[in-house]
Chains A and B, each alone.
Chain A
Amino acid sequence: MSNDNLISVEHLYRRYAGLVAVKDVSFELQRGEVLGFLGPNGAGKTTTMQIITGNLAPTSGRILINGLDLLDRPRQAKGEIGYLPEQPPLYRELTVDEYLRFCARLNRLRRDTITAAVDRAKQRCGLEQVGRRLINNLSKGYQQRVGIAQAIIHSPAVVVLDEPTVGLDPIQIREIRELIRELGEEHGVILSTHILPEVQMTCDRVQIINRGQLVFSDHVDNLDRRMQSSSLILGLQQPPAQHILEALPGINDVQALDNHRFRLLHAAETNPAGAIAQQAVEQGWGLFELTPEHKTLEQIFVEITSSEQSDTEIEAA
C-alpha cells in the first residue's frame, strides 16, 4: 500500500532565529483523502505547507512526495504538487488564459497537451467565461479560483491549499468546497483553514497543530463521535427538587441554569432522554424542552489547544 502514500512527512523541524515554528511534525496523506489542517494563528500551518511545497527548507526532517524525496530530487517531487498559497501567486497583468498557459509550461506539460489542460482546469474552477479577461480586473473570488486552477493544472498527485475560501461569498465558498471534495477523489488534498465547519464539511481527516506541534489527528467520523452530546437541556414548568433529578437513572450530574431549565450530564454511551420524558409526563413536571447538547468542533478545538497550552505551562513551571 506504500504507493498510495502520496505524502509522508517524517520528524519535520523548522527553526527561525531562536524560534521553533514546526516541532517534530510527522504525518501521511493517502490517495483520495482530504486532510484538514487546523490551528490557531501562528501555529505553524503555513510554515508546514511552505515546507511541503518546497518554498521553505526544513531545518531537519524528511518529506516524501509520491515516493520522491523533496530534498534530494526537488524537481521531480515538485512536479507532483500543486500549491495555492494564502495569497494566490498571480501575474495580474496577464489574462487568465495566458497565465494558465504559462503555469502549464512551468510544470513541463507537453506542448500539445497544454490547451487541453488549460481548458480542463478552467472548466473545473468555473473560469470558462473569464478566460480572456485580465486577472487584475477579476473579483477576489475569481482570482482565488484562478489560483486554484493554477494548482491543479498539471493534475498533481497532491494539491495543497492554504485557506482557499478566505474572502469569498457564501455561494463561492460552497462551490470551492465542492471542488475540493471533487479533487479529493483523484488527488490527495491538504487544506489549511481556521474555519471549522469547513473541515467538517470537506475533510476526511483532521489534524490540529498548535505551537508547531501536532496535537490531534483523527478521522472526521471519530471527531463527530467526540462531538456527540454527553448532556441534555431539560426545561420543566413545575420542576421537582434537584436531588430527584440527580436520582434519575443514567444521570451523573445536574446543573440548574435558571428556575425552570437544567443541564443534565450523562455518560456518553447512554442516552437517558426517553426515560426522562416518561418520568416527566408521569409526574406532571410540565416538560417543555428536552434537547441534546452538541459539542461543536469549536469547543473541541478550544479544548485541545488550550489543554495543550496548560500542559506546557505546567511543564514550564
Chain B
Amino acid sequence: MMVFTLAQRELRTLFLSPLAWSILAVMQFILAYLFLTSLNDFINLQPRLQNLESPPGATELVVAQVYGSAAFIFMMVVPLLTMRVISEERRNRSIALLFSAPLSMTEIVLGKYLGLLGFLLLACLMISLMPLSLLFAGPLDLGLLLAMFLALFLLSACFAAIGLFLSTLTLQPTIAAISTFGALLLLWIIDWAGDQAGDIDASGVLEYLSILRHFEPLSRGLFSSTDILYFLLFITVFLVLSIRRLDADRLQH
C-alpha cells in the first residue's frame, strides 16, 4: 500500500518536470522516423519478398526494427530518468521525510522503483502504438509483438534497477547518470570480448552476462525461462543492493 503511495508521488514528480515529457517526445519522434523509413523499405521490398518460400512479414521486419532501436534509445534515456531518484532526495535532504516516516527501506526502494516502472511501461506502450497502427492495413503476428513488448519492458526494468542502485551511491545526479550509462553500455557489449577470445568457457560466461544475449532471443519470439529468470534475478540483485546501501546510510557515515 505504502509502496503505491510512494510510486504515485515519484511518477507525479517525474511528470511535473519537463524531463519526462521531453524524453517521451524525443523518443517518440526518433522512433516514428525509424518506423516510417523501415515501413517504406518494407513496401519497396514486398514484391521481391513474395517470391520467397515463407516470406518474413511486417512484424519481423518493421516492428522488430522499432523495438530494437527502442532498446538502444532506452540505454541512453533511462540513466537520465533514474539519476535523480535517490541522489537528489539525499542532496535536498528530503530523504529525511521518508526515513522518519513509518516505512521500511524496502518499501522506500520498491516505491521508487515502481514509480520508474510506471513511467517505462507508459513509454513502452506509446512505442507500441506505432506497430499496432499497422493493424489497420493488415494482420500482425500478435504473439511475436507481445514477446517483443515484454522483452523491451524487461530490458528497461533492468536498466532502471541499475540506475536506481547507482543513484543511491552518489549525491550528484550527473555522476549517477554517467555511471549508469557506462554500466549499461558495458553490459550491452560485454560479449564482444567473448567472441574474439576464442576461449569457450570465458566467452560462455561473458555471453551469459551480456544483457543483449537475453534480450535478442525473447524479442525474436523465443520465450525461454532462462532469459526471464536472468532479467528477474538482475532486477532483484540491484534492488537488494539499493536497500542495503540506504540502510548503510543510517549505520555509518
A55 to B93 Cα, complex, angstroms: 11
Q: Are B103 and A106 in contact (CB under 8 A)?
A: yes
Knowing A16-B253, A83-B96, A108-B2, the reply to whether A93 touches B102 (Cβ < 8 A) is: no
Inside 8 A of B100's CB, which chain A residues have their CB?
53-55, 78, 81, 83
Residue among B92, B96, B104 making CB contact with A75, cutoff 8 Å: B104
Shortest Cβ distance from residue B227 to the other chain A in the assembled complex, whole angstroms: 37
Residue among A53, A75, A89, A94 making CB contact with B103, cutoff 8 Å: A75
Inside 8 A of A103's CB, which chain B residues have their CB?
97, 101
> What is the predominant secondary structure among interface residues of chain B facing chain A?
helix
Shortest Cβ distance from residue A80 to the other chain B in the assembled complex, whole angstroms: 9
Q: Which residue of A lies closest to B98 (CB)?
A: A106
Interface check B251, CB cutoff 8 A: yes
A83 to B101 Cα, complex, angstroms: 9
Interface check B220, CB cutoff 8 A: no
Inside 8 A of B22's CB, which chain A residues have their CB?
none
Residue among B94, B104, B252 making CB contact with A90, cutoff 8 Å: B94
Shortest Cβ distance from residue A197 to the other chain B in the assembled complex, whole angstroms: 27
Inside 8 A of B132's CB, which chain A residues have their CB?
none
A81 to B95 Cα, complex, angstroms: 16
A244 to B250 Cα, complex, angstroms: 66
User: Which of B92, B96, B251 gathers the greatest number of chain A CB atoms within 10 Å?
Assistant: B96
Shortest Cβ distance from residue A18 to the other chain B in the assembled complex, whole angstroms: 12
User: Which of B16, B94, B99, B102 gathers the greatest number of chain A CB atoms within 10 Å?
Assistant: B102
Q: Are B104 and A106 in contact (CB under 8 A)?
A: no
CB within 8 Å of B: which residues of A? 16-17, 53-57, 74-76, 78-79, 81, 83, 85-87, 89-94, 98, 102-103, 105-108, 150
> Can you offer 10 A-B residue contacts whose CB atoms are under 8 A?
A53-B100, A54-B100, A78-B103, A89-B92, A89-B94, A93-B13, A94-B12, A106-B101, A106-B102, A108-B2
Given A89-B94, A91-B13, 15 further pairs, Cβ under 8 A: A16-B253, A55-B99, A56-B250, A57-B250, A75-B102, A75-B103, A78-B100, A89-B93, A102-B9, A105-B5, A106-B2, A106-B97, A106-B103, A107-B102, A108-B2
